[in-house]
A = this chain, B = another copy of it.
Amino acid sequence: MNAPLPNAVLPTFERRALPPPMLDALKARFGQRCSTAAAVREQHGRDESPYPVTPPDAVVFCESTGEVAFVVGLAAEHGVPVIPFGIGSSLEGHLLAVQGGVSIDLSRMNRIVRVHPEDLTVTVEAGVTREQLNREIKDTGLFFPIDPGANATIGGMAATRASGTNAVRYGTMRENVLGLTVVTAAGEVVHTGTRARKSSAGYDLTRLFVGSEGTLGVMTEVTLKLYPLPEAVSAAICHFPGIAEAVDATIQVIQMGVPIARCELLDANSVRAVNRYEKLSLREQPMLLMEFHGSAAGVKEQAEVVQAIAHEHGGEAFQWATTPEERTRLWTARHRAYFAALQTKPGCRCVTTDTCVPISRLAESINDSRREADEAGLPYFIVGHVGDGNFHLGYLIDPDKPEERATAERLSMQMVQRALKLEGTCSGEHGVGLHKMGFLLDEAGAGAVDLMRQLKRALDPKNILNPGKIFAL
């Protein structure tokens, strides 16, 4: 088993210098939109991971695919790293400029390029956030379901193959990206995919770029599938005597093929944190937060089946939230669980895990992880997209206490070891970044990682695209 890169210490990479002629060329083209100010660089040298800030040498705010191509073309010429930056919500250190270079900020590329409601597709620039997208297409009666919690950019979500609460029904970014505009390592612009729902025409470049974490190309436009807003939506919470019961109920729901749209677990710690942070009064015991989409009758039927299953497993106090306001309140609470938990230990950082296992092994995976965390005595919380077999256990550590960090990393490693033994994955949705490079090797094996390396070398021979992430070259 390969240990994760300890969060305290960055792997040592040689920083590559930004040659003055390149900086001059950037300034000439971008003016004020090319910044070397310390504050701007620092803001682009961090994300939600607990790694220390590692700033790029410059930040360029691009406004078009052509501008991105210009920056990457220059970078190729000078052998300088480029790091695509969306909104900075990565949890795994994706955005850190470990070898220096230029951060390409895509947040100003935030236009909805084309909506085709009649085809259930939309093309957006990479810097559009998921909340913005859903706001802007509201009038079409359609929505984009992928919801990782953070208001991430679509480009960032594609880059990490994100998913989140709706994936159990609608799939992940893997299933919902139809095509891409990508700037290659040579600074060329290519288009992948079409607007057709399926295709067998050649290698699946789209899915090669999705999840490649900025290491194979810079995505500038993304074409997505949309879905009709369901005729009826209903959300419910249900409390369980213990996590095991909540998870067992979930397993049965999935095995029966109930088309549940969301099925989220919060442990008592998360509920407690959320109550305090959001001024709610949820019962402070493990709960499932569920959502059902469909026709009015279909939603009712699904809910009845799930209610019966929950009841069998000791679930009680099934409470409905049918108005949009109530639903929004619950989901906001769920999405803020991470930040709520951080508040429970002032000044703490969070070491987050992201394992995903075959559904029948989920209870075992969560229970053993909890037991180990309890034994270690670190405060923690659990939230999970349990319908997918994916959950996050966050260890709250004092950044000034190396022993807490070491304990959290040991526990995290044990969790991953268990997930792999159960034929699962070290990362359900956050990506590898800096943190899970060792885990990836354990999971995929040296042979498969070597294939990845060969692909990387083929598409980015100078190793300028977000170097130092996913695997060591």
Task: Write the residues of chain A forming the contact surface with B, with a CB cutoff of 8 angstroms.
Answer: 116, 118-121, 160-163, 167, 171-172, 174-175, 184, 188-192, 194-205, 207-208, 210-212, 216, 227-228, 230, 251, 254-257, 259, 294-295, 297-298, 301, 354, 356-361, 388-390, 419-420, 423-432, 436, 439-440, 443-445, 447-449, 451-452, 454-455, 457-459, 470-471
Contacts and interface: CB of A to CB of B under 8 A. Distances in A.
Contact of A195 (B116, B167, B423): B423
Given A120-B359, A160-B200, A195-B423, 18 more contacts: A118-B251, A120-B254, A174-B198, A189-B447, A194-B420, A195-B358, A195-B424, A197-B388, A198-B390, A200-B425, A201-B443, A202-B440, A202-B443, A202-B449, A203-B208, A203-B470, A204-B211, A457-B458
A198 B355 CA distance: 10
B174 A429 contact: no
A430 B420 CA distance: 35
A207 B175 CA distance: 11
Contacts of A171: 175
A444 B301 contact: no
B211 A424 contact: no
Contacts of A251: 118
Contacts of A120: 254-255, 359
Contacts of A160: 200
A215 to B, nearest CB: 8
A402 to B, nearest CB: 27
B297 A190 contact: no
B439 A201 contact: yes
Given A200-B162, A455-B455, A205 B175 contact: no
A358 B200 contact: no
B389 A196 contact: yes
A431 B471 CA distance: 32
A428 B192 contact: no
24 contacts: A116-B360, A119-B358, A120-B254, A121-B358, A161-B204, A171-B175, A184-B451, A195-B358, A195-B424, A196-B357, A197-B389, A198-B425, A199-B356, A199-B428, A200-B427, A200-B428, A201-B439, A201-B443, A201-B444, A202-B440, A205-B451, A294-B298, A297-B297, A455-B458
Given A202-B440, A447-B188, A455-B458, A196 B356 contact: yes
A419 B196 CA distance: 9
Contacts of A470: 202-203
Nearest to A419: B196
Given A255-B120, A444-B192, A448-B191, A427 B199 contact: yes
Nearest to A206: B207
A200 B161 contact: yes
A120 to B, nearest CB: 7
